[in-house]
């Protein structure tokens, strides 16, 4: 009797004095009274009669739900199925043939089938009255009962199989409740669901009979609640199951009149549709039937039960708060309806603010006992998974929790559940290389390939953890000697198609400037007009008056800031206003003053605007920006620069805060919905948010920063308006730009993080050194080596940034018309893999496909990287594979290049080859470590390194594929160049002034391109030389220069040639490195030079080379000494 109870609560109506009985249980059905045997038989007979009426009513409904197509349609009662092997033989679907012909008036079913099409729906219903059953016997002779899947159409078979075998009413109710719970438990097992379809023990009949007994006052349903973790409650609330409890023939009409009243009231007030479901739940779990019976105590009790689930639900923050608001609206709507009829006594409305729910601790999140409570066989698994999730404190905690739940879901569906990790057999449970109920197939059928691979990695870690944990018990060691991790990422991983990497296309700088102006022009005119979500009613703390529809500029100023400073969105959201600092910047005095209105007592200096030391003698401190957080740490970093335009925007923000929001509270990452571990919550830094937004709906927290969805919405509106303004300025013959998605004019094609990508790209295009840009992208590993060789002072940073602000971008505003494109097509090369595609790269140039950018190795017409690729079946529309430097342009169907881009192709190809060589060396080192780990019996390290080797091999494979594609473009470009030179030579006498399109000046001997095998030193020297003469051609994360400089410095130290390399500036050091390398290679060859640099050969073995090197170093040191002396004399004279 686990699913029934006799306990209930009573609540007295203050108006009628009636006692309402209420069942608070979320699982058990409550028996209010027990009928005698005779009464129960009468109830069952009445239910069967009602069931016949339900079935008859359903069969009178049209087969076609589109009411506009009544003519030619038929009611379900007259549905017929064509017999196999004959076009003139039809059999009625739901009724017997003799009843079919009797109703229609024809001799055969086929004639009846044809004749029905001439009748309207209403005429068919009149014909049906001739065969309407009035008793169970007539119904049996009319209906084909086997045609009703999931439903005993007349109900008596369900009664015979489920109800009559029970000894009494209590056992009958318990049998029905048990049946429902079995259905929920078996719902994920396909074979059991199939058997249920052809059984009379259906959940529909169970719910119908229980609803009938509730209407007669014998039974109360459980009080099932939203957000419950219990599958039974979720199943009971599903709309398909609720529907079976609402047939008019089975419910109390007064109670459902109240439900309809709630529905009408919610529609009139545009309230949430959840209000009606809350009313149905209360009606089924109580004897409540009329609004006059309502009481505050009954409503408060429901709120109390709901809030138990509200605090423990694992649903998202948005879902829980939305449901909470809807539930509060429902209880107050009940009070409103009551008060509209009865003012004495009146029920006072109660406003509950469903704030952020109490966060679960990591121990609560890692508690999987709910699974073992239902299936005791899972107990050892839930314990091990809990220990595993709590064993590591890192950023993947939530992923491990999700993986653990999915793993338990899979185990729950197995027919024979393994009792421990030792019983897991790889070919049976993990990967059977077929379609069995394995862990791998469980993931594949439910989640994306990328997500499935993440979970497989977690499971491999989990089984390593199980091995180490079980090994601590001496009794397990013998059995563990043969244990092998059943998850093998080498064979079990899914092919994702591409490596991870950024696929964002930068926004052109002129467009960024247009959006900047759009935000601030005419005192924020456009944001005030378009950002309807930024208005709020607030108290003006300067006048003390409450003002309506106050414009909050936070989202506008935040986006303006990100357009100037390329930081991450979360960094902008958590910028500090400085209201808790000891000193704060005064915009009028243009200096820092003591903060007289300081909030809090702690010593802090976290405000955005800070005074930073210049680092140069004679230069005063500079005003800069303090970014409070970073991706990999909470320490943040400083940017020693801020422009006048940005200062004006910040002044506007500060003034608004002091006027309308002067008393903030500290907020951290958790206020943005970030899930933090217990340790992280304790150590998480908090800030007085600069861009706080009191206008956020469904939140009365005026200290919270601008929400992400608001930023995204505002960005889309700005892009839409900027697109219109820019296109209006362009001549009709020029291409129009597109910043928004097709069919969605307020949704931007570029996400918020593209602002960061665009800002960084623009700074690099304008010549800001890589080490300076590092200040903006701190934490990106690809820049660390370069940063080691470039550590500028704050004054130098400021100088570069100030120069960049006034400098035009190297990326020009390229606009083409169709006639211009057609004239030059023959001079270019495109991807031949897409030659048969009707939509070519040049079509993308002609069409409004995006923003054109001319790069060093080719032209991107601005088409989407998401659709430029080609899958193995030659289908267009897949993403471009990720290559060496983001999306692999040579593997894009829109990429355009040619002879005029050969130098860029050569440089990028050599950079890629060097990276491939370094990748091969790295993989070899990993393999050596794998062998060592295997020899030492370190299983966990072995598996970790094996997974890393797999990833590195996939990256290497992608790099080799990209190299292959680059070679195709290179060879095609060389052939075009050779053809042009041959043509020029042939016609030289006729037209001696014929130019070469690639060069402004030509020499007697034409430049020829080719390729040959080269050593690593020659490759590095080539790239280093390019860095000296054509620095814009070198990729930002290329390490050729620092690697070679380091090798030369080490060579000089080993041969006692002094420390001249440390006395040179960047430009001199690069020149010296290239000169020294060139001298070594030209004198002794590349192979021997590499041995000299590595220390395998001493310089003294080459006397002539040694003399030249010593002389070169000596002259260089004399020159540096003279320069230093002149500098000293100049300082002394001052």
- DSSP per position, 123-150: HHHHHHGGG---SHHHHHHHB-GGG-TT
| Tens digit of each residue's pLDDT (9 = 90 or more) over 285-329 | 999 988 888 888 998 888 888 777 666 666 666 666 667 767 777
pLDDT score for 1134: 31
pLDDT score for 634: 64
- 1073 by Cβ neighbours in 10 Å (0-12 / 13-18 / 19+) ranks as buried
178 vs 230, which has greater pLDDT?
Answer: 178
Q: Do 624 and 610 touch, CB atoms closer than 8 A? A: yes
Distance CA 1011, CA 135 (A): 94
Q: Do 723 and 746 touch, CB atoms closer than 8 A? A: no
Q: What's the rounded mean pLDDT across residues 324-346?
A: 70
430 pLDDT above the threshold of 70: yes
pLDDT score for 71: 40
728 pLDDT above the threshold of 50: yes
3-state secondary structure of 456: helix
- The strand pairing partners of 12, in sequence order, are 19
Main-chain dihedrals φ then ψ at residue 610, nearest 5 degrees: -140, 155
1066 pLDDT above the threshold of 50: yes
621 pLDDT above the threshold of 50: yes
- 641 by Cβ neighbours in 10 Å (0-12 / 13-18 / 19+) ranks as buried
648 pLDDT above the threshold of 90: yes
Which residues in 1028-1044 are b (16+ Cβ under 10 Å) and which e? eeeeebbbbbbbbbbbb
Q: Do 144 and 95 touch, CB atoms closer than 8 A? A: yes
pLDDT score for 877: 61
pLDDT score for 782: 40
| Tens digit of each residue's pLDDT (9 = 90 or more) over 45-99 | 999 999 899 889 889 888 875 544 434 478 888 888 887 767 778 888 888 989 9
Q: Round to the nearest angstrom and report the end-to-end CA distance of the chain.
A: 101
375 vs 397, which has greater pLDDT?
Answer: 375
Percent of the chain surpassing pLDDT 90: 16
Model confidence at 35, pLDDT cuts 50, 70, 90, reads very high
Nearest to 178, CA basis, from 157, 163, 192: 163
Q: What's the rounded mean pLDDT across residues 212-227?
A: 88
| Tens digit of each residue's pLDDT (9 = 90 or more) over 129-187 | 999 998 889 888 998 887 876 678 888 888 888 899 998 999 999 999 888 888 887 66
Q: Do 607 and 592 touch, CB atoms closer than 8 A? A: no
Most confident of the ranges 2-6, 461-465, 490-494: 461-465
pTM for the whole structure: 0.42
Q: What's the rounded mean pLDDT across residues 348-353?
A: 57
Distances (CA, A) of 766 to 517, 790, 809: 20, 18, 5
Q: What's the rounded mean pLDDT across residues 940-952?
A: 79
442 pLDDT above the threshold of 60: yes
Distances (CA, A) of 509 to 898, 1011, 1034: 26, 37, 21
Lowest mean pLDDT among 85-89, 623-627, 858-862: 85-89
| Tens digit of each residue's pLDDT (9 = 90 or more) over 675-703 | 454 445 555 788 999 999 887 655 546 78
Model confidence at 576, pLDDT cuts 50, 70, 90, reads very high
Q: Do 486 and 418 touch, CB atoms closer than 8 A? A: no
pLDDT score for 514: 93
């Amino acid at each position: 009797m686990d699913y029934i109870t006799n306990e209930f609560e009573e609540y007295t109506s203050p108006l009628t004095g009636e006692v309402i009985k209420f069942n608070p249980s979320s699982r058990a059905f409550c028996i209010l009274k027990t009928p005698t045997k005779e009464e129960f038989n009468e109830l069952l007979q009445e239910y069967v009669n009602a069931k016949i009426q339900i079935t008859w009513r359903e069969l009178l409904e049209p087969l076609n739900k589109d009411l506009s197509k009544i003519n030619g349609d038929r009611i379900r009662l007259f549905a017929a199925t064509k017999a196999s092997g004959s076009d003139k033989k039809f059999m009625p679907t739901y009724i017997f043939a003799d009843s079919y012909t009797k109703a229609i008036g024809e001799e055969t079913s086929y004639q009846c089938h044809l004749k029905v099409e001439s009748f309207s729906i209403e005429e068919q219903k009149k014909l049906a009255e001739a065969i309407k059953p009035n008793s169970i016997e007539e119904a049996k002779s009319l209906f084909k009962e086997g045609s009703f899947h999931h439903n005993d159409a007349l109900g008596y078979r369900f009664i015979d199989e489920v109800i009559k075998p029970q000894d009494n009413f209590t056992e009958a109710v318990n049998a029905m409740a048990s049946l429902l719970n079995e259905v929920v438990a078996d719902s994920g097992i396909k074979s059991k669901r199939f058997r249920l379809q052809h059984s009379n023990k259906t959940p529909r009949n169970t719910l119908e009979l229980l609803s009938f007994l509730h209407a007669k006052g014998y039974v109360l349903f459980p009080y099932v609640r939203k957000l419950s973790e219990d599958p039974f409650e979720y199943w009971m609330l599903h709309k398909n199951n609720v529907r079976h409890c609402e047939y008019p023939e089975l419910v109390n009409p007064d109670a459902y009149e109240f439900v309809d009243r709630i529905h009408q009231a919610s529609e009139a007030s545009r309230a949430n549709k959840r209000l009606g479901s809350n009313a149905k739940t209360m009606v089924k779990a109580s004897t409540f039937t009329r609004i006059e019976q309502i009481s505050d105590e009954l409503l408060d009790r429901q709120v109390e039960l709901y809030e138990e689930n509200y605090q423990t639900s694992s649903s998202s923050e948005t879902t829980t708060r939305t449901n909470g608001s809807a539930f509060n609206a429902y209880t107050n709507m009940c009070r409103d309806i009551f008060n509209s009829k009865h003012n004495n006594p009146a029920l006072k409305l109660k406003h509950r603010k469903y704030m952020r729910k109490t966060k679960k601790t990591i121990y609560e999140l890692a508690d999987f006992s709910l699974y073992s409570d239902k299936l005791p066989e899972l107990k050892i698994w839930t314990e091990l998974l809990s220990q595993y999730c709590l064993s590591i404190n890192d950023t993947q905690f939530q992923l491990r929790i999700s993986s653990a739940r999915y793993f338990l879901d899979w185990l729950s569906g197995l027919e024979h559940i393994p009792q421990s990790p030792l019983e897991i057999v790889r070919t049976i449970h993990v990967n059977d290389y077929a379609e069995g109920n394995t862990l791998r197939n469980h993931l594949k059928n439910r989640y994306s390939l990328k997500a499935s691979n993440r979970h497989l990695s977690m499971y491999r870690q989990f089984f390593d953890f199980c091995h180490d944990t079980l090994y601590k018990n001496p009794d397990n060691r013998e059995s563990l000697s043969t244990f092998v991790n059943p998850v093998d990422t080498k064979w079990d991983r899914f092919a994702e198609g591409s490596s991870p990497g950024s696929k964002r296309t930068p926004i052109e700088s002129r467009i960024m400037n247009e959006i900047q102006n759009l935000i601030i022009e005419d005192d924020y005119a456009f944001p005030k007009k378009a950002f309807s979500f930024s208005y709020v009613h607030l108290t003006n703390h300067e006048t003390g008056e409450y003002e309506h529809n106050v414009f909050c500029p936070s989202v506008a100023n935040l986006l303006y800031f990100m357009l100037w400073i390329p930081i991450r969105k979360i960094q902008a959201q958590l910028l500090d206003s400085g209201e808790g600092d000891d000193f704060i910047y005064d915009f009028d005095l243009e200096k820092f003053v003591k903060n007289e209105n300081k909030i809090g007592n702690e010593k802090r200096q976290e405000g955005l605007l800070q005074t930073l030391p210049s680092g140069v003698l004679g230069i005063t401190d500079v005003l800069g920006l303090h970014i409070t957080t970073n991706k990999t740490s909470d320490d943040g970093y400083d940017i020693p620069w801020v422009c006048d335009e940005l200062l004006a925007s910040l002044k506007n923000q500060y003034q608004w805060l002091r006027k309308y929001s002067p008393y903030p509270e500290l907020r951290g990452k958790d206020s943005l919905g970030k899930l933090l571990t217990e340790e992280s919550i304790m150590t998480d830094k908090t800030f007085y948010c600069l861009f706080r937004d009191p206008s956020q709906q469904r939140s009365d927290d005026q200290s919270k920063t601008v929400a992400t969805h608001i930023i995204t919405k505002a960005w889309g509106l700005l892009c839409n308006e900027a697109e219109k303004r820019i296109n209006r300025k362009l001549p009709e013959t020029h291409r129009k730009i597109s910043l928004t998605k097709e069919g969605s004019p307020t949704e931007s094609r570029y996400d918020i993080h593209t602002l960061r990508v665009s800002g960084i790209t623009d700074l690099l295009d304008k010549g800001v050194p890589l080490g300076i840009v590092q200040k903006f992208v701190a934490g990106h590993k690809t820049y660390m080596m370069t940063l080691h060789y470039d550590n500028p002072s704050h004054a130098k940073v400021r100088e570069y940034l100030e120069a960049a602000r006034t400098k035009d971008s190297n990326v020009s505003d390229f606009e083409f018309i169709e006639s211009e494109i057609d004239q030059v097509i023959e001079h270019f090369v495109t991807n031949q893999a897409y030659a048969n595609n009707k939509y070519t790269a040049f079509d993308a140039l002609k069409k409004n496909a995006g923003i054109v950018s001319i790069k060093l190795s080719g032209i991107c017409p601005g088409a989407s990287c998401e659709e430029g690729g080609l899958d193995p079946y030659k289908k267009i529309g897949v993403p471009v594979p990720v290559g060496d430097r983001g999306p692999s342009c040579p593997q894009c169907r829109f990429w355009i290049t040619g002879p005029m881009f050969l130098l860029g192709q050569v440089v990028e190809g050599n950079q890629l080859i060097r990276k491939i060589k370094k990748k091969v060396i790295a993989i070899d080192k990993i393999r050596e470590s794998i062998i060592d780990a295997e020899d030492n019996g370190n299983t966990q390290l072995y598996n970790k390194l094996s997974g890393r080797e797999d990833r590195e091999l996939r990256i290497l494979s992608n790099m080799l594929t990209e190299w292959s594609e680059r070679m195709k473009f290179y060879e095609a470009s060389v052939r075009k160049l050779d053809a042009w030179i041959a043509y020029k030579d042939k016609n030289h006498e006729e037209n001696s002034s014929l130019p070469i399109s690639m060069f402004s000046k030509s020499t007697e001997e034409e430049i020829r391109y080719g390729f040959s095998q080269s050593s690593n030193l020659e490759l590095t020297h080539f790239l280093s030389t390019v860095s000296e003469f054509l620095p814009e051609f070198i990729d930002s994360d290329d390490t050729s220069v620092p690697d070679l400089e380091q090798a030369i410095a080490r060579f000089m130290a080993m041969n006692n040639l002094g420390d001249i390399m440390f006395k040179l500036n960047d430009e001199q050091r690069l020149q010296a490195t290239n000169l020294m390398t060139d001298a070594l290679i030209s004198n002794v060859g590349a192979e021997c030079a590499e041995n000299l640099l590595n220390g395998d050969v001493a310089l003294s073995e080459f006397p002539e080379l040694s003399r030249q090197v010593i002389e070169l170093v000596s002259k260089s040191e004399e020159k540096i000494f003279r320069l230093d002396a002149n500098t000293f004399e100049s300082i002394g004279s001052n």
